[in-house]
Amino acid sequence: MAQDTGLGSENRGAPGAEGLTRGVVDVELPAEITPRALPAFDTDELSSFVETFTRQVLDAESLRELNGTVRRSADGTVTETIAPEDFMERAMRGLAPFGPEQGSGDDDQANAGGLEPRSTTPTTARQIADGTGWPHRAVGLIAMFDNAGDFMGHCSGALIGPNTVLTAAHCLYDQDGEGWVGDAVFVPGLTDLENAGPPFGVFGWDDMVIHSGWINEYDGTIFSTLAYDIAVLILSKPVEGDDRGVGDFLGWLPVAPVPTGFPGYNTNLLGYPGDKPFGTMWHMTCPLSFEGMPAQFAGRDCTTAGGTSGGPMYIFFSEGDRRIILGTNIAGNDEMSISLTIDAEHFAWLEYNWK
C-alpha cells in the first residue's frame, strides 16, 4: 500500500511554489554543457552477461554490507556505512501500490496490455514547454562541476521527497576518473534555459549519497556495478529559518518497488537529452520489458542520449492521474537502453536514505 508520507507517497507541492526563494545558489549556467555520457555496452556483451548472471543469495549481514551507502557531505567529509539492521525486513515488505490497471492519457503514455518492444527515434520525443506544472516541476537538470569549479556535464533527476533527488550514481562518482564530482546544482522545472531561465531557481546540496556497491563491487567492467548505479542528492533547505525542503514547495513523485513477475510497462521518461538544445526538457515513451533481463534491470528497444542519465522512468495511470517511478535511465547504446529497476532492495536502500 502507498504510504501517507515517505518514499511511497506523492506530494504535489504548493500552488505556484508560494514562499520558495528563487535563485538560492548564485550560479550562471553556461549556454552549453557536455552531457554526462551514458555508460555504453556492447549488445553481445549484454547477452553474455544475461546468460551467465546468477543472483547472489546472501544472508542478512552480507545483504546489509552489499547495500551500504557512501556519503559525501558538502564540507568534503566522506563516510561509508552498511545498511541498517532492519534492511532485510524493509526489503521483504509487500508489493508495489498498484495493480494491473489499464488506462489512456494525453500527455503521458498510460499502462496497457501487449507490451511488445518496438523501436523509436528521437522524433517521437516531445519537448516540454512549461516546467511549472505537474509533474514537470518535480523533475530537473543536475549540473556538475569539477574541483576547479568548471562545468563538467549534466544529468537528470527527480524529487522523491522534501529534500531528496533521485539520480544515477555515475552522475556523481566516476569510477575510472577523479571519483566524486566537485560540486552540483539541481535546477527543477527547467525547460528553456536560453530564454526563460530556471523557473524556480537553482538549488545546492548537503549530501551526495551513492550505493556503496557502485564503488566496492567495481572490477573495471560496466556490468560489475550497473545494478548499483543509483544515488540521491540531498538538497539544502531553500529558505533560511524554514525547515521545509524544496519538495515541500514543488512536490515530489512517489517511488515503488516493482512486483515480482511484473511483465513490463510503458515507460515515461523525463530528462535532458544531450542531443537537444541544452536546458530543454523532453518527454519520451517506450515499452519496457523485464523478460530476458537479469534481476534489477529492464531493457528498452529505444535509444536515449547522454544527459538523460538518472531521469525518472515512471508508470502512468490515467484513472486518478497517478504516476509512480519504477526505475531510472542508466545505460545505453545505438540499439537499446537499460533501466535500473527499483526492486525491493533498491526501494529499501532509498527508504533509509530518504529525507
Instruction: Tell me what pLDDT residue 100 has.
Output: 42
* Residues in Cβ contact with 86 at an 8 Å cutoff, skipping those fewer than 6 apart: none
| Residue 151 maps to a domain | yes
pLDDT of the residue at 286: 81
15 belongs to a structural domain: no
pLDDT tens profile 296-310: 777 666 778 888 999
Mode of pairing for the β-strands spanning 264-271 and 173-174? unpaired
Whole-angstrom CA distances from 274 to 94, 140, 277, 284, 307 are 38, 14, 7, 14, 5
CATH number for the domain that contains residue 170 = 2.40.10.10
Would residue 208 count as lying in a domain? yes
Q: Please identify every stretch of the chain with a pLDDT value under 50, giving residue numbers as ranges.
A: 1-3, 94-96, 99-106, 111-122
The verdict on whether omega for the bond into residue 35 sits within 30 degrees of 0, i.e. cis, is no
Residue 197 Rama label (left phi>0; alpha psi -120 to 50; beta): left
Domain presence at residue 4: no
The residue segments making up the domain with residue 167 are 37-53+61-83+101-353
This prediction's pTM: 0.87
pLDDT tens-digit series, residues 27-37: 666 666 667 76
Number of domains in the chain: 1
Considering the domain boundaries, does residue 28 fall inside one? no
What pLDDT is stored for residue 105 in this prediction? 37
Within a domain: 26: no
| Confidence (pLDDT) at 95 | 45
Instruction: Tell me if 3 is assigned to some domain.
Output: no
Q: Is residue 263 part of a domain?
A: yes
Strand partners, 153: 144
